[in-house]
Amino acid sequence: MYFFIRSVLFGLMLGAFLLIALPVIRDISFNGTYTNTNGENKRLSFYHAIAKAAPAVVNIYSTHNEIFRSRYKTQTLERTSLGSGVIMDSNGYILTCYHVIKDAEQIILGLQDGRFVQAQLVGFDPYTDLAVLHSNAPDLQVIPQLDNPSPQLGDVVLAIGNPYNLGQTTTRGIISATGRAGWGSYIGNQNYADFIQTDVVLNDGNSGGALIDSNGVLMGINNANFKTLDDKRQVKDVAGVSFAVPYTLAKRVMDSIVQDGRVIRGYLGIGVQSRLDNSPLIINSITPNSPAYHAGLEVNDIIVQVDGQTITSEQALVQWVAESSPGSQIEVEIIRKSKKIRLPIIIGELKG
């Protein structure tokens, strides 16, 4: 009996100690709902982030006419495309995906305050699948932005868009990878965008919408799900693998389109490959009449340095050249047949 009483007293003393030391335990009700000391429910919520960003995400409806000709008649059908867009500044500039408004003859924006307004295409960039629209509508809500939001692996992100025209919808996930080359629009087998990979759910109509962080800050412009072929060779979406254009790249593209009407990128006209990670790049193709061709570069040349910098990945070289000003001169150091050679090259302009 003595040991029983001692055990009961010890249990009561331990329970009292825990309630004093950890008062949060007292606020857990029997149904598992966490409540704070004043009795209000306390839950994990992204309401405030969404409330700041969602009014700046618009629904986009674009129409274009398709002409079908047969032996006996010609028929014109009006097609409507669905997508989303993001209001980037108070001047009415809006970012979306190029494939959302491609060939559009009319573009209508559905604002979250219930208004429907017209928009005009300012310009587009097929290399990043981005387009800039403009609207003269007053009182537009601008999405929160930072100069460098620095997306990190594991960050919680939210995708805001208009899937299947159901109305504005938010889905949640995390950043699965950053700097994901090998996705997006390709010209000459070179990729001009490092995408953010997430596991947020995207459906038809989400393209061009906002990818935000848990504070409501814009992280990127949602593009599409990853696609593959099934056993019948039919294209299908892969659940849990989605992509977005990073904010810093999207903003740079928008500013260039607004200022110059297009994105100006440098161009060399070479294809390269690396044998191993961090190994020198080997030129495997030269475009005829390109800057590289006129400078005397040849297939199988090994690139050692570009303007004194060592570059060991194809993507790094593509980005470096793309950000160089057309008309500027660079020096490329190569190894050809065991001999080091330095060649000056005038950067050209990449054409769409």
Q: Which residues are catalytic?
A: 99, 129, 207
Contacts of residues 328-335 at CB distance under 8 Å and 24 or more positions apart, as own/partner, are 328/266, 330/306, 331/306, 331/307, 332/295, 332/297, 332/303, 332/305, 332/306, 332/307, 333/303, 333/304, 333/305, 333/306, 334/283, 334/297, 334/301, 334/302, 334/303, 334/304, 335/280, 335/301, 335/302, 335/304
**How many degrees, rounded to 5, is the angle at CA 90 between CA 49 and CA 216?**
10
Query: Of 131, 64, 123, 127, nearest to 98 (Cα)?
Result: 131
Q: Which residue has the tokens 């070179």?
A: 190
Angstrom distance (rounded) from CA 322 to CA 304: 19
